[in-house]
Amino acid sequence: MGISRRTAASAALATTGLVSAGLGFLFGETVLARRLIGVTDERPPSPDGVYGEDLDGDPVTLLVLGDSAAVGYGMKTQATTPPALLGVGLARMLDCPVRVRSVAVVGAESSDLAEQLARGIDAEPDVAVIVIGANDVTHRKSMRAAVADLQVVVSRLVADDCDVVVGTCPDLGTVRPIWEPLRSIARLQSRRLAERQTVGAIEAGARTVSLGSLLGPVFSEHHELMFGEDRFHPSASGYAALAGALLPPLADAIREQRSEPRKERPGRAEEVMSVSEAAAEAAQHPGTEVRRVGRWVRVLRRR
């Protein structure tokens, strides 16, 4: 049975109206969630400095880029910020002084990474960590553009003989002030971005850690412990979990620079696969680390 042009046009208009109404509803939820979360002008003390000054090993310089998760938004002391936690942790793991330079900015999107790099490249980093993506999702930025912006910065760092570890987009579905159905959409979008970030970052020469799949279940099950007062940004425990996920690949990168053997990590399984397969694996399994090995990539995940 055929459908008249008038009927088809009416159906199209009705569908468009439903979509517009749905988007309007989601936008309203987004605005409400931001009001519930709130913002503050307070910033944690600068984490820049040298950690482990009394150690004898060759010093390492770490550059930190990204958004509020990399800054440590909500923390009152230097010691509880992710850059400081990474500095202390690396110094202990490598038995050497670690100089930390952070250029991360609260509210940053992937398009801001180039400007951050311009401010921090003079530190001549040996290794860099990038945590980005949440604001690209919440502000509905183009995923393709976000990944391209990330790739540009990773490529520039790698060209300067700096190893890069990227913490991919966190799971925004764990944020309780975001109500359904927006929370489910946020979870889906953040996972999609994380998967694309994995592919793009690996192709540009970085290692990646799937922060969303690693921290998502923990943040959901222990919400009161892992989130701060605004129920959106991590608490001190949450930031410690984030730093703990990033430390092993950062230490591995430095050891490989120095031709030191990589230490075996108990409870880890390792495989070699294609980039696309690795990205899908990282999106589905907690704490998956991915790095390139020739034409293939090595996937290291928790058992």
CA-wise closest residue to 84 among 126, 55, 47 = 47
Greatest extent of the chain over all pairs of C-alpha atoms, in Å:
83
Alpha-carbon distance of 239 to 83, in angstroms, equals: 10
Write down the catalytic residue from 110, 163, 233, 235: 233
Do 206 and 167 form a contact (C-beta atoms < 8 A)?
A: no
Residues shown for the chain: 303
**Residue 237 among the catalytic residues:** no
Write down the catalytic residue from 68, 110, 111, 213: 68
**Residue 233 among the catalytic residues:** yes
For residue 235, what are its two tokens? 């608490």
CA-wise closest residue to 131 among 233, 45, 7 = 233
* Beta strands at 163-167 and 207-209: parallel, antiparallel or unpaired: parallel
Alpha-carbon distance of 202 to 77, in angstroms, equals: 34
Do 254 and 90 form a contact (C-beta atoms < 8 A)?
A: yes
Q: Buried b / exposed e across 38-55, counting CB within 10 Å, b at 16+?
A: eeeeeebeebbeebbeeb
Do 210 and 283 form a contact (C-beta atoms < 8 A)?
A: yes
Write down the catalytic residue from 155, 220, 222, 230: 230
Residue type, 132: I
Annotated catalytic residues are 68, 230, 233
